[in-house]
Amino acid sequence: MNALAAYNRGATGQGIRVGVIDSGIDLQSEEFGDCSGGAGTGTCRILASSRDTAGNTSIDDQGGHGTAVAFTIAGRRNGAGTHGVAFDVSLIVLRADNPGSCATEVAGDDTTGCKFGDNNIATALDTARTNGARVVNISLGGGSTNGTLNTAMQRATAAGVIIVQSAGNDGGADPDPFTANASNAAISNGLIIIAGSVGESGTISSFSNRAGSGPRRNFYLAAMGERVRAPDENNTPFLWSGTSFSAPQITGAVALLAQAFPAMTPAQIVDLLFTTAIDAGAPGIDDIYGRGILDLTRAFAPVGTTSIAGSRAVASNGVNGTLSAPMGDARQGPLGTVVLDAYARAFTMDMAGTINRDGPARQLPQLMASRQRGFSVGVKDMKLIVSLVPGYDAVRIERLAIGTGDARPALAASASLSGNLGSRMQFAIGASESGNALASRLAGRGEPAFLIARDPGNNSGFDVDVGASAALRQSFGPWGVTVSQEMGDVLTRRDTTLYALMHRPERFGYSRASLGVDRRFGGLRLGVSGTRLSEQNSVLGARFSSGLGGARADSLFLDLGARFDAGDGWNFGASMRQGWTRATLRGGVEGSGSMRTNGFAVDMGKWGVFDGDDQFGFRIAQPLRVASGGIDLNLPQMWDYGAEAVTEWRVQRINLAPDGREVDFELSYFRPFLGGDVSGNLFLRRHPGNFAGIPDDKGGAVRFSFGF
């Protein structure tokens, strides 16, 4: 049954009325409160509406069966021994055994003992209905019901009363005929549950009637019915077995759900128990276990699609957001909220646990595997450059950061066409090549080649697939003005690394426009540029589902750069990027966000170290990193079932600033060799991926390439 989940939520059955049609109850028992002037403690939970419907003098039990069933539902919880499933419910005890029949019981003789007439059961059922019972337990069996009882059942279910009947103890292939109305929609209204029995191992009990192959299996639910400890009419504890004791387990479960989720309809409660049952036996609804085995842990957990209360924003139990590299190991405080499941039940969820971090990329393997091939053709003032590079799923990723074992073999083409428009104006258009790359080419900017330590002003800092780009440059003597534009897709991992390996990345469009001004002062070139980045469904490469606001972002970047040719082959460079990002929420959750980002690079290089053709370089760089900021969400904190509305909200923050700060150090060397080129690199990445808690990434590479 796994009732602990219900108790942890505070469900005890308090305030719920439960009808028990059986052989009465031990009025001297202490298990149901003080019901006989001092025998028990606390308020008596046997309601005054309890009565005998068969002509007995009182509801005091003479056979023990009714007391044991009532205890299984509602026995007190006092820290000693066992207790009932819903230990705080109020009982409408309806004694319906024929007078004197219980006293005739002979052990082992099924023809003796308590007998119940259909008309008496019908009267009891009407009494339970008119006195507010939410659920009625009938741990009785036998032949088909008569018309009077059928009509009483119809009245009860039409009023929203759930009926739980035992399946029978003959070990038969079908439930007792007494349960036939469960599959008669005109009588049951879908609110009759047939209770089968299983043992501790979850295997159907040998004595339990099975679900059968007919329509009643759709309403059959198994629960613990073996060796159930409960007192008899003399308060002597016994271990009882039978579907009579699996039925009250289900009845108690109904009471717990009715208290915990007061807005649930009776039909929803029944459907929930069936939906969350453990699928035993053959997959799906089967002839042995029917709908399965009662499981309150699953019944008290969200079912189906969950959404943020007060909105239509979907909140997954798995991953609702994936941070990008600039956000690194950003730590989250609690993001507590109220969510509603498919049954409109309210649950608390800490959304912080559903934010995934995009771990630091292993950059070197993919870079070493980038077998780039290309050619260029020039005609007068026009030049065409075409490059073929390996790409993930035929996509050229700007930030090459996927291991070779992760990449799918494909070749993607990047191409650019550039030319002159008069003596002072140049243009370039590109496919799968960034606007920054085109702008640098038009400006004639050159710098040492590095594998790992890259200029933050020349790349996004997160994975993108560049589509189309264009650049235009106008020269005014030593001055130059360059504008560029590009469009493409931000690439994000929808879930975990394993998911990323098995599926293509998700794509969200972006556009980027830049305006830059540069000037030469002899060997010194200075430049300043501004860039506007607009992301359709991401924030600096991070993805947030509607449960976290479904944010998009607009960013402004200011880039400053300087490069100085000191003569004798020496050159020195420095650059810095400062960014401001504004996030807009569109997923149904109210809020907003702002971030400040930065990055820098300083380097030095020399041509002609050992001869006139080799080159040496050293760079220190910090990739783009969120320095401060986050996204503020206005999340619901309280849900009123009566008003079906949120009654309290609180603003909470998704922190996007990491503790780690990646700084890259790299040495590079290049020279022609044997008709080709040989290059070597040594690097150290401190806090790789902006993760402070992982070791430094160290490595080196030697490459030899030649054309043919």
Joined tokens for residue 479: 């001055």
Confidence of residue 37 (pLDDT cuts 50, 70, 90): low
* Overall average pLDDT of the 391-414 stretch: 39
- Residue 357's pLDDT is 84
- Whether 273 and 386 map to the same domain: the answer is no
Tens digit of pLDDT for each residue in 297-343?
Answer: 999 999 999 999 999 899 998 899 999 999 999 999 999 999 999 99
Largest CA distance in the chain: 118
- Residue 411's pLDDT is 43
Which amino acid is present at 268?
Q
Name, in order, each residue with C-beta under 8 angstroms of 353's C-beta and a sequence gap of 6 or more.
none
- Residue 387's pLDDT is 55
The enclosing domain of 163 has a CATH number of: 3.40.50.200
- Residue 42's pLDDT is 80
Please indicate, yes or no, if residue 311 is contained in any of the structural domains. no
Tens digit of pLDDT for each residue in 116-158?
Answer: 999 999 999 999 999 999 999 999 999 999 999 999 999 999 9
In 3D, which of 271, 176, 266, 261 has the Cα closest to residue 221? 271
Q: How do 336-340 and 237-240 pair as beta strands?
A: unpaired
**Is the pLDDT confidence value at 378 over 70?**
no
Confidence of residue 504 (pLDDT cuts 50, 70, 90): confident
C-alpha–C-alpha distance, residues 533 and 477, integer Å: 30
The enclosing domain of 668 has a CATH number of: 2.40.160
**pTM score, two decimals?**
0.81
DSSP code string of 530-586 = EEEEEESS-BTTBEE-GGGT--EEEEEEEEEEEEEEEETTEEEEEEEEEEEEEEE--
Confidence of residue 409 (pLDDT cuts 50, 70, 90): very low
Tens digit of pLDDT for each residue in 587-638?
Answer: 889 999 999 999 999 999 998 888 888 999 999 999 999 999 999 999 999 9
Please indicate, yes or no, if residue 353 is contained in any of the structural domains. no
202 phi-psi bin (left φ>0, alpha ψ -120 to 50, beta other): left
Which residue's entry shows tokens 């599926």?
A: 503
Count of CB atoms situated within 10 Å of the CB of 126: 17
When divided into structural domains, the chain yields a total of 2
Please indicate, yes or no, if residue 423 is contained in any of the structural domains. yes
Question: Minimum mean pLDDT among 22-26, 349-353, 423-427: which range?
Answer: 423-427
Tens digit of pLDDT for each residue in 256-270?
Answer: 999 999 999 999 999
Q: Three-state SS string across 374-441, please?
A: EEEEEECCEEEEEEEEECCCCCCECCCCCCCCCCCCCEEEEEEEEEECCCCEEEEEEECCCHHHHHHH
**Is the pLDDT confidence value at 370 over 90?**
no
- Whether 212 and 85 map to the same domain: the answer is yes
Beta pairing partners, 228? 240
Count of CB atoms situated within 10 Å of the CB of 405: 9
Please indicate, yes or no, if residue 215 is contained in any of the structural domains. yes
Please indicate, yes or no, if residue 357 is contained in any of the structural domains. no
Domain ends where: 249, 278, 299?
Answer: 299
Joined tokens for residue 480: 């130059």
Please indicate, yes or no, if residue 118 is contained in any of the structural domains. yes
In 3D, which of 245, 374, 266 has the Cα closest to residue 708? 374
What residue numbers bound the domain in which 500 lies? 363-705
- Whether 438 and 290 map to the same domain: the answer is no
- Residue 360's pLDDT is 66
Name, in order, each residue with C-beta under 8 angstroms of 72's C-beta and a sequence gap of 6 or more.
84, 85, 228, 230, 245, 248, 249, 252
Please indicate, yes or no, if residue 61 is contained in any of the structural domains. yes
* Overall average pLDDT of the 205-223 stretch: 97
In 3D, which of 296, 141, 111 has the Cα closest to residue 207? 141
φ, ψ for residue 444 (rounded to 5)?
70, 25
* Overall average pLDDT of the 445-468 stretch: 85
C-alpha–C-alpha distance, residues 63 and 234, integer Å: 9
Name, in order, each residue with C-beta under 8 angstroms of 567's C-beta and a sequence gap of 6 or more.
523
Please indicate, yes or no, if residue 358 is contained in any of the structural domains. no
> CA 490 → CA 73, 549, 550, distances in Å?
57, 18, 15
Average pLDDT across the chain, whole number: 89
Between 564 and 435, the higher pLDDT residue = 564
In 3D, which of 481, 482, 478 has the Cα closest to residue 520? 478
- Whether 287 and 431 map to the same domain: the answer is no
C-alpha–C-alpha distance, residues 240 and 512, integer Å: 74
Joined tokens for residue 461: 């800092």
- Whether 279 and 392 map to the same domain: the answer is no
Provide the 3-class DSSP secondary structure of residue 298: helix
Domain ends where: 243, 269, 299?
Answer: 299
Question: Minimum mean pLDDT among 164-178, 346-360, 384-398, 452-466: which range?
Answer: 384-398
> CA 540 → CA 173, 287, 485, 588, 617, distances in Å?
62, 55, 18, 21, 30
- Whether 282 and 406 map to the same domain: the answer is no
C-alpha–C-alpha distance, residues 431 and 540, integer Å: 22
- Whether 294 and 370 map to the same domain: the answer is no
HSE, side-chain direction, 13 A CA sphere, residue 278: 17
- For residues 36 and 26, the answer to whether their CB atoms sit within 8 Å is no
- Residue 619's pLDDT is 96
> CA 522 → CA 35, 478, 519, 525, 565, distances in Å?
103, 9, 9, 8, 9
Domain ends where: 252, 274, 299?
Answer: 299
Percent of the chain whose pLDDT exceeds 90: 72
Name, in order, each residue with C-beta under 8 angstroms of 659's C-beta and a sequence gap of 6 or more.
328, 329, 330, 331, 692, 693
Question: Minimum mean pLDDT among 376-380, 428-432, 519-523: which range?
Answer: 376-380
- Whether 286 and 410 map to the same domain: the answer is no
DSSP code string of 261-284 = -TT--HHHHHHHHHHTSB--SSSS
